[in-house]
Structure 1
Amino acid sequence: MEKMISLFKLSAQEMKKTRVIALGGMFIAISVVLSLFKVPLGPTLQISFASLPIAAGGMLFGPFVGAIIGFISDILGYIVRPHGFFFPGFTLNAILIGMFFGFFFYRKKLTFMSVILSSLLITVVINLGLTTLWLSMMYGDAFIALLGARVVKNLIEFPVYTSLLFMVLKLVERLRERMKTLG
């Protein structure tokens, strides 16, 4: 817990850098654009890759900045294309995604196993847990009834998302190394 708090504080210090704000804005823009391209699988099922830039921001700048990127991305994504009513639970999901990836990858070596574990955590806690809870609250459907279809969707999505996440984070790792050499 102490290590997480210190990572959070280090990440908050990143917000003082112009480069962080500029790159954070770029990640937000990419996330908003990706949020426009959702693949609908049913009334409560869809596939989106808008969290990939949020993960990249968390990796580069830590959990605090990742959370801010997630927050702003979700709000702007809703403003750009509102579908249904605004539900703050999905904003919380985006914040948590940025934080989780920041805790997993900020100032750490990227490994395929760490990407699998982080993707699994996001899948279980956010996609299956929180998102199913939010949908249940929004539509009045039973949590268990929604969970069955969501498990199938996430089993299909997991290897695709994890592979894309690894490729994106490998590119971000190279960017991080170049940023170190530039000062």
Structure 2
Amino acid sequence: MNFAKEIMQLPKLIKESSKEMKKVKSICGCAMLTTLNVVAGTFFIPLSPTLRIGFSSIFAGVSGMIYGPVLTGFAGIIADTLKYIARPDGPYFPGFALNEFLIGMIYGCFFYKKELSFLRVLAARLCITVFINLFLTSLWLNILYQSQLFTLLRIFKNVIMFPIDVALLYFALKATKRIPT
């Protein structure tokens, strides 16, 4: 994985990915994966009122691999809104919808029309864990609740969950690759 080459190809990848939004088959497939994301998002293991273990991100990863960053990013916003409607805890905050958009974009940029490897999955998950889970989500929780205690708990949870998330995502993507399209 040549990092500089990957960065240089991002505009082309995003342009190519935006064509998926014009295909009925892509919109329907992405909608099904978004539905699975929402359903999985309503089932989680609560550790505290603001800290939970969930696995809905796997479906965003699969969507990013198949439909690219643009469609998966917008599907993330829809998924976040539907998850809140299905199971509201606390006030609605648009920062979390931004998180879901960025997660879809990151997964799409790492997996869309790319050779799947464990290193690629590890790098994508590391970006999401550090930038989204630890930085942005902690920022949003601090804005909402004016407490930095959440950051310490989030670090502990993300360190423990990182290898589990990487393994689950890798095996889910490998299994998806075997499905004929």
- What TM bracket, shorter-length normalisation? over 0.9
Which residue is equivalent to 2:4? none
Letter in 1 for 2:152: G
Alignment of 1:38-117 (within 5 A): 38-117=44-123
Which residue is equivalent to 1:163? 167
1:123 to 129, 145, 160: 129
* Superposition RMSD in Å: 1.2
1:174 to 150, 174, 178: 178
Alpha-carbon shift at residue 165 of structure 1 (Å): 0.5
Letter in 1 for 2:113: R
Alpha-carbon shift at residue 174 of structure 1 (Å): 2.1
Q: 3-state SS of the aligned residue for 2:47?
A: strand
Whole-angstrom distance in 1 between the partners of 2:52 and 2:127: 19
Letter in 1 for 2:85: I
Deviations 1:97-147 (A, max 9, x none): 0000000010001001111111111100000000000111110103xx322
Whole-angstrom distance in 1 between the partners of 2:127 and 2:61: 13
Which residue is equivalent to 1:11? 17
Letter in 2 for 1:150: R
Structure 2, unpaired ranges of 5+: 1-6
1:33 to 26, 29, 39: 39
Runs of 4+ more than 6 Å apart: none
TM-score (normalised: structure 2) = 0.92
Letter in 2 for 1:14: E
TM-score (normalised: structure 1) = 0.91
1:152 matches 2:156: yes
Structure 1, unpaired ranges of 5+: none
Letter in 2 for 1:15: M
